[in-house]
Amino acid sequence: MPKYFRYYFRLLGARLGYDFSKGYNLIPATFGSICYFFMHILGFSLIINKFTFPTWSTSQLWVLFFVFEFYLYLCFHFFVRGLMYTKQEIARGKFDYHLIKPANIKFLSLIREGSFNNLVAVVLGGTFLMVSVANFHPAPLAIFLFFILFFISILQFHFLSAAILSFNFKYGPIENSQMILYRFQEVWKYPAESFLTHPVSQILVFPLALATTIPARLLLGRPISPTHLLVYTGFTLLSFILYKLSWHFALRHYSSASS
Amino acid sequence: MTKYFAIFKTIVSSSTVYRFGLFFDTFQSFLTPTFILLALSFAKSSSLQANTLWPYYLVVSILGPIIRPNVHDQLYDLTRTGDVANYFTRPINLYGYLFSYWSSHKVINLIALSPVLFPISFFLPNQSSWSGILILPLCFILYFNLAYLLGLMSFWLDEFWAISNVFDVIVIILGGILLPYQFFPTWFNKFIFLTPFPYTTNWLARTTLVPFAATEIATAFFWIVLTFIVILFLQSRAFRHHSVIGG
């Protein structure tokens, strides 16, 4: 484990060093990243101007929203570059580079982000979250549990995105497959109960939406249904199994002659 | 013409080989609108009903893979790698190549989506929305020109992806992709029609609800011609500015 922490922090240092070496170019780069952050705020405020969500007050919805922003940009910060480059390496037959290393290939190939622009969005999301949750006076235990569950939600993202990416081993380069889970981002913006209205979304969308709703409920001091907690745990386990199996079987299709 | 047809054949061939990619490409654009609609169907509103929004979002989802080319990012890749130099001399020019490349992609996506598109169009509230097929090429060309114009900036900018992100956000908001214009304040609705963005996505999506005016075709033409003139002007400067070192 210390090896992986060391690896991650070296990567982060190198990446930040590179970003700061850009000088004035860092300003448009940061702006280009956080413009999406503010687009989400604008879109969400327009929606809650017109619509109300039963049992959720506006201030509670904003807490959920900033949990979403914090979550989304942390997922970008950790994984986006790894997903992008791994997909390219599979297509070009350069994945051997990871196969020969004496470490976990999934970790090495998928966790190699650390850019300044996403870090700024993470800090902004975290700051807005702290401000919006301040009125609810969360207990220290709730904050501790929030971080535990939040970490599990990030792992869930990692498992699912890696499982989807593994299709590239078998089916050749699949355009935008590295970004597919990021396209689900609207799911994390709204209360998970919203996705219980239709039988299909109950099965396919609701478990995913719990990734932000459960941590947000903890911060807000709202009760969490045992069924929801069970679905959340079950879905995390399922995504872990899917991740293990898909990499195991898909990697067999890899040849460095490129796919 | 033969060379452009050869590009089309290449794209068809790659799409048939990577069929899973074609499925992913078309499937993705349905995700965001579906999730917004699902969330809104649970929410309550006094002024808007979520079930009145589905025709709009359905058309927006279908239009994504058909009219929005990623030409700006492709231009960035070409300039960054220096491959753009291949198009400085004849027999094929850069605009022509990229236009035929992306129009081929979009035609294939249209064919792939047609089993969904045509049955759905019978259930749309405005039955004259079939005329939307006529304005589909206009929307594509206008979006292509705007994205190409932006892509030309990559000849001057290092961190082009950031500008590309800003463009995407502007198109998502002003093009009515994220939310229909009913969600925005009145002043915004007056301002937006002074820009080319309503004619990229929102125009076609609106035809599912209300018929379009003939003046809108003239406005779309105006923006297409204007953007094309600016492209010609900027492209010659961009090519002169370009330099590639190393091999």
Is the pLDDT assigned to residue B247 strictly greater than 60?
A: no
- Out of B41, B172, B173, closest to residue A197 by CB: B41
Stronger pLDDT, B95 or A25, i.e. the higher one: B95
- Determine whether the interchain pair B173/A35 forms a contact, defined as Cβ–Cβ distance below 8 Å: no
Helix H or strand E encompassing A11: helix A2-20
Q: What is the pLDDT of residues A105-114, one digit of tens each?
A: 666 666 776 7
**Gap between the Cα atoms of A192 and A203, Å rounded:** 12
**Gap between the Cα atoms of B242 and B84, Å rounded:** 9
Stronger pLDDT, B213 or A156, i.e. the higher one: A156
Q: How far is B209 from chain A (nearest CA, A)?
A: 20
Q: So what's the pLDDT on residue B127?
A: 59
Q: How far is A37 from chain B (nearest CA, A)?
A: 10
A259 confidence band (pLDDT: 50, 70, 90): very low
**Is A159 strand, coil or helix?**
helix
Task: Give pTM, 2 decimals.
Answer: 0.84
Q: What is the pLDDT of residues A167-222, one digit of tens each?
A: 777 776 676 777 788 888 889 999 999 888 888 888 888 999 999 999 999 999 88
CA angle A73, B78, B18 (to 5 degrees): 75
Q: Which of A10-14, A84-88, A188-192 has the highest mean pLDDT?
A: A188-192
Q: So what's the pLDDT on residue B90?
A: 67
- Out of B21, B24, B165, closest to residue A36 by CB: B165
Is the pLDDT assigned to residue B233 strictly greater than 60?
A: yes
- Determine whether the interchain pair B24/A175 forms a contact, defined as Cβ–Cβ distance below 8 Å: yes
Q: How far is A208 from chain B (nearest CA, A)?
A: 12
- Determine whether the interchain pair B173/A43 forms a contact, defined as Cβ–Cβ distance below 8 Å: yes
Ramachandran sector of residue B48 (left: φ over 0; alpha: ψ -120 to 50; beta: rest): beta
Question: Chain A contacts of B162, Cβ < 8 Å?
Answer: 28-33, 117
Q: What is the pLDDT of residues B3-18, one digit of tens each?
A: 777 877 787 777 776 6
Average pLDDT of the segment spanning A45-63: 90
Is the pLDDT assigned to residue A67 strictly greater than 80?
A: yes
Indicate the range of A89-98, A188-197, A231-240, B48-57 predicted with least confidence: A89-98
| Contact criterion met (CB below 8 Å) for A174 and A90 | no
User: Judged by CB atoms within 8 Å, which residues 88-147 of B form the interface with A?
Assistant: none
- Contacts across the A-B interface (CB distance below 8 Å): 125
Q: So what's the pLDDT on residue B52?
A: 79
Question: Chain B contacts of A30, Cβ < 8 Å?
Answer: 162
CB environment B39-78: b (16+ within 10 A), e (fewer): bbbbbeeeebebeebbbbbbbbbbbbbbbbbbbbbbbbeb
Average pLDDT of the segment spanning B11-31: 72
Tell me the torsion sign for CA atoms A53, A58, A62, A67: negative
- The interface predicted TM-score of the complex, written ipTM, equals 0.83
Ramachandran sector of residue A224 (left: φ over 0; alpha: ψ -120 to 50; beta: rest): beta
Indicate the range of A3-17, B149-163, B187-201, B212-226 predicted with least confidence: A3-17
